[in-house]
Structure 1
Amino acid sequence: MQQLKYFQHYPDSLQAQVKTLITDEKLQPYFKSKYPSGHQLQNQQALYQYCTALKQRYLKNTPRLNNVSFNKHTDMMKGTLGTHTHKQHRHGQKLKTRYDIALNNQLKYAPEAILRALIVHELAHFKHADHDKAFYNLCCNMEPDYHQLELDLRLFVVLDELGMNFYTQI
């Protein structure tokens, strides 16, 4: 089953639950009951303000976030759901750094909690480059339910891949 590729590092018992959820066609009802509506952050300004508020709350000592946007050029099924970049350039005698976050365009049609998990993930990369223990501790500090939301994010990718994303119609 192609959709299980998103769950390869999870235990076999969890992979079996995911497979059952998909084959018994219970994935869409799961999302409808747990996340009845999508987020309202449909423009770049609202998304930027949302991310900045999270950053200010948890990462006060990091530089200003320059840009946050939904990126039309990434394909959710090929891997990247979000990217973080920081570019350094000289401006006179000063070294300036730009911090940007680009989220997959298909996440415009996702539950707010799922979007928040991805934003938390990308913000955590501003302090920790690698996916190590400190990185996940920071993610869990910003979002206590992070690990469940990361699993649900993977399920959302499957939902969208199967053409069952009902959030696009809301």
Structure 2
Amino acid sequence: MHELKYLIGYSENVTSQVRLLISKDKLGETLLKKYPVTHTIRTDKALYAYTVDMKNALLKQSQPLSKVIYDDKIKDLHHALGLHTFISRVQGDKHKAKNEIRVASLFKNVPLEFLRMIVVHELAHLKEKDHNKAFYKLCEHMEPSYHQFELDMRLYLTHMDLFGRLY
């Protein structure tokens, strides 16, 4: 049986349904039916604009973003899908702080819902550093379907591991 490394922590009910879809070769078909179209946010400039617009609409009282980019090295180096970094520097008597978000390059060619879930997740780190109850509550506030998109994105990653890309 296939290891479902992206679904660790999910219930036996969920994982058994996924195993059934895999055994019937229906996982990709199910995802394509639910998410037939990929987004058009392909450049770092477009990703920055998308992320800043979302931040300004949902987190008005948060720190500014200095950089938002797609990063080819994230999945391999950090075993993550996105990263939020906070850089603080003191130069003389001035303090400079920068917030950066990096999104794994594999999200250049996926449905908008998956990209939105990753961006919401990284934006939530502007307010909540840890993955605690308040963090996930903020994610749900910004995107009410956050948990469904996260599960479906994990199903997509499972499909990629087993069969390759869908989109």
**3-state SS of the aligned residue for 1:97?**
strand
CA distance in 2, matches of 1:89, 1:132: 28
CA change 1:141–1:155 in 2 (3 A) is same
- In structure 2, the residue matched to 1:13 is 13
Mapped partners of 1:87, 1:2: distance in 2: 40
The 3-state SS of whatever aligns with 1:127 is coil
Which one-letter code corresponds to 2:106 in the other structure? Q
Aligned partners of 1:88 and 1:97 also within 8 Å: yes
Matches of 1:163 and 1:42, distance apart in 2: 24
Superposition pairs of residues 15-94 of structure 1, within 5 angstroms: 15-75=15-75, 79-94=79-94
1:114 aligns with 2:114: yes
Residue 77 of structure 1: how far off its partner (Å)? 10
Question: Aligned letter for 1:50?
Answer: Y
Find out whether 1:96 has 2:101 as its counterpart.
no
* Contact 1:77–1:161 (Cα < 8 Å) also in 2: no
Contact 1:76 1:104 in 2 (8 A): no
Note the C-alpha offset of 1:7: 1.1
State the AA in 2 paired with 1:17. Answer: Q
Give ranges in structure 1 of 5+ residues lacking alignment. none
Q: Which amino acid aligns with 2:31?
A: F
Give the CA deviation at 1:105.
1.0
Separation in structure 1 between the aligned mates of residue 156 and residue 92 of structure 2, nearest angstrom: 46
Deviation at 1:75, TM superposition (A): 2.6
Aligned residues: 167
Deviations 1:20-40 (A, max 9, x none): 122211111112111111110
AA aligned opposite 1:52: V
Deviation, structure 1 residue 108: 1.0
Q: Any conservation in 2 of the 1:114–1:153 contact (CA below 8 Å)?
A: yes
Shift of 1:101: 0.7
CA RMSD of aligned residues (A): 1.7
Identity value in percent:
38
Q: Does 1:105 align with 2:105?
A: yes
TM-score by length of 1: 0.92
Q: How many Å apart are 1:166 and its aligned residue?
A: 2.7
- Per the normalisation by structure 2, the TM-score is 0.93
Instruction: Name the amino acid aligned to 2:74.
Output: T
Instruction: Quickly say closer, same or farther: Cα 1:163–1:107, change in 2 above 3 A.
Output: farther
1:2 and 1:89 mapped to 2: Cα distance?
46
